[in-house]
Amino acid sequence: MVKRVRLRDLGITIGRYETGAYNAITDIHGVKVGHTTLSKKYAGDRVVQTGVSAILPHSDNLFQEKVLGSSYVINGFGKTIGTIQLQELGVIESPILLTNTLSVPAVSEGTIRYLLDQNPQIGDTTGTVNVIVGECNDGYLNDIRGLHVRSEHAIQAIQFAKSGIVEEGCVGAGTGMSCLGFKGGVGTSSRIASFGEQTYTVGALVVSNFGEKKDLRIPGGGLLHLSEEEGKMPDGSIMIILATDAPLNERQLGRLAKRAAFGLCRTGSYAAHGSGDIVIAFSTAHRIPHELPPNQGNITYSIMREDGIWISQLFEMTVDAVEEAIWNSICMATTTEGNKGRVREAIPYNILLGSSS
């Protein structure tokens, strides 16, 4: 078996910016990622290939210390929870959870239970909590009708979250996903650059589940015109999570989220009719307290100037990080046997090096 490696290990780089130490969303200080992976064969041809992934903007109590955030819908064929309030109020007050389409309710319950345990006042002496859950349809490889993800799996993913190296490929929410006709999954990447006397980082984490072989565009190149052996697949989806330590407000984060679409389309996506393509972005630069003293009416914080090169530089870093995160999700994924005898092959690396033979 060929050892699975990341895109840069193949000698392929994207863009002109350096990566962070881990080339991951966890290069933003305080951000953690955790996975719960469910992979099991039952009698007959039933196979479970699914899971949950959790992204924590910081390690403290997110309900009490919120971060600024936004979301952007590239194509709305998705079943996310929490993005309406996120757009209205511009804050994230829970871990961000990703899973399969039919497991969104169970994962939402688990996330709520986790936050209720942390915060006895929720729903009692203060308001309720807005949890954020995103999804992709892994029903090609996973027995999705079995509803195998339970609320405790969401709690485990949150509790397992850690900084540093992020597991990629067939883990967590990416366990049963397919991308561009090959095995997809979880991928991550980051970019770091100087802004005057400051240094800021942009990180992306994706769960890739879109496209067919005919759509694949090699990094920095064009279409390879690969044939598709199977019949037409569902259009699929992608969840894209962006993090930065740059001091952006919620409106600026919305602008950043829109740029993720350019990194996505570089890989071959055109946001097909049935593809749920959703972006969630947050900044760790400021924390918004849940409660303020009665006599304090204002919160003061600084934001990045928006009249030129700095904000454009962040946009470019975002596009590059998203593109590379998608390729890492594919490069790190292994050939997977799934439900009803279906198999999704890992991508042969020679394809990414410009040869379809």
Report, as residue numbers or ranges, the catalytic residues: 237, 275, 277
- Measured CA to CA, the distance from residue 179 to residue 34 in angstroms comes to 22
How far is it between the farthest Cα atoms of the chain? 70
- Measured CA to CA, the distance from residue 30 to residue 318 in angstroms comes to 19
First-last CA distance in the chain: 19
One-letter amino acid of 204: A
Q: Residue 31 contacts by C-beta under 8 Å, 6 or more apart in sequence?
A: 25, 55, 56, 57, 58, 163, 203, 243, 284
- Measured CA to CA, the distance from residue 330 to residue 334 in angstroms comes to 8
One-letter amino acid of 144: I
Q: Residue 1 contacts by C-beta under 8 Å, 6 or more apart in sequence?
A: 334
Sign of CA dihedral 163, 93, 89, 131: positive
**Distances, alpha carbon 151 to alpha carbons 111, 114, 141, in Å:** 8, 10, 21
- Measured CA to CA, the distance from residue 158 to residue 150 in angstroms comes to 13
Pick the closest to residue 135 from 163, 107, 167, 171 (CA basis). Answer: 107
Phi then psi for residue 237, to 5 deg, are -160, 170
Residue with tokens 């060929």: 2
